[in-house]
Structure 1
Amino acid sequence: MTNIFKLPNNLNHLEKFEQIVTGENIQIERIISTGQTTTSGQWYDQNTDEWVILLQGEAELSYADDMRIKLKAGDYLLIPAHTKHRVEYTSIEPPCIWLAVHGQM
């Protein structure tokens, strides 16, 4: 058994991606962010839908149409496949803990 809120001892301000479940049509991962953002000029453009919930911390996402969304613990959203988006902000203290589900929804 593992606890979703237990942080690794050696995080050292790095971003960590952990696969929880991987199947034919689904992937569930825990992401721990400590101040990371998307590189300037880069956009995520994923082939699958992504449902994401921010379990801890604060974050801000932006979309190619200039829409911005501020997230706090407990907020979740669905990012449809091929929706260009980027991470503008993630809190350092506390670190962001995300749960992301990728697949066809």
Structure 2
Amino acid sequence: MRDGTTPAAPGGETFADLAAAGGARIERIASRAVRDGAWYEQGWDEFVLLVEGAATLAFADGSRRDLGPGDWCLLPAGCRHRVVATDPAAVTLWLAIHLPPVTPPAA
């Protein structure tokens, strides 16, 4: 388990796995003033809910999305994205649900 109970250091993030079942995983993420973080490109869908704070997500196509408390985003598998900003005055808390890859039915 990654420890998400420790506050994120300035410019960093901490992660904590909260639950996992059936190939899905629920994770708590604490971000603090992330600027142009690493690109993520996952092989599974991810649902993120911004619980507290504020954040801006950037996408490989150049678009951006600002999120506040209660806002959510579904990031499909293969969607290249990153966190480019969070609330500079406080920790931003996320709930992320990583969904298992969909296996096409056998022909």
TM-score, normalised with respect to structure 1: 0.80
1:79 alignment partner AA: L
* Rounded Cα–Cα distance in structure 2 between residues aligned with 1:60 and 1:53: 13
Partner of 1:55: 51
Structure 2 match to 1:76: 72
Residue deviations 1:36-77, cap 9 Å, x none? 2444xx421101100000000010001111110001111001
In structure 2, the residue matched to 1:26 is: 24
2-structure distance, mates of 1:99, 1:18: 10
User: Cα–Cα, structure 1 residues 93 and 83, in superposed 2: closer, same or farther, change >3 Å?
Assistant: same
Superposed counterparts of 1:1-16, under 5 Å:
8=5, 11-13=8-10, 14-16=12-14
% identical aligned pairs? 35
Residue matched to 2:33 = 35
The 1-side partners of 2:40 and 2:6 are apart by 29
Instruction: Identify unmatched segments of 5+ residues in structure 2.
Output: 103-107
1:34 is aligned with what amino acid? R
Distance 1:46 1:9, change over 3 A: closer
- Tell me how far apart the structure 2 counterparts of residues 100 and 56 of structure 1 sit (CA, whole Å): 13
Give the 3-state SS of the residue equivalent to 1:98 in structure 2: strand
- The 1-side partners of 2:84 and 2:5 are apart by 24
Q: Does 1:86 pair with 2:82? A: yes
Larger-gyration structure (1/2): 2
The worse-fitting range, judged by mean Cα deviation, of 70-79 and 84-93 is 84-93
CA distance in 2, matches of 1:86, 1:103: 18
Q: CA RMSD in A?
A: 2.1
2:62 is matched with 66
Unaligned runs of 5+ in 1: 1-6
**Equivalent residues, number:** 97
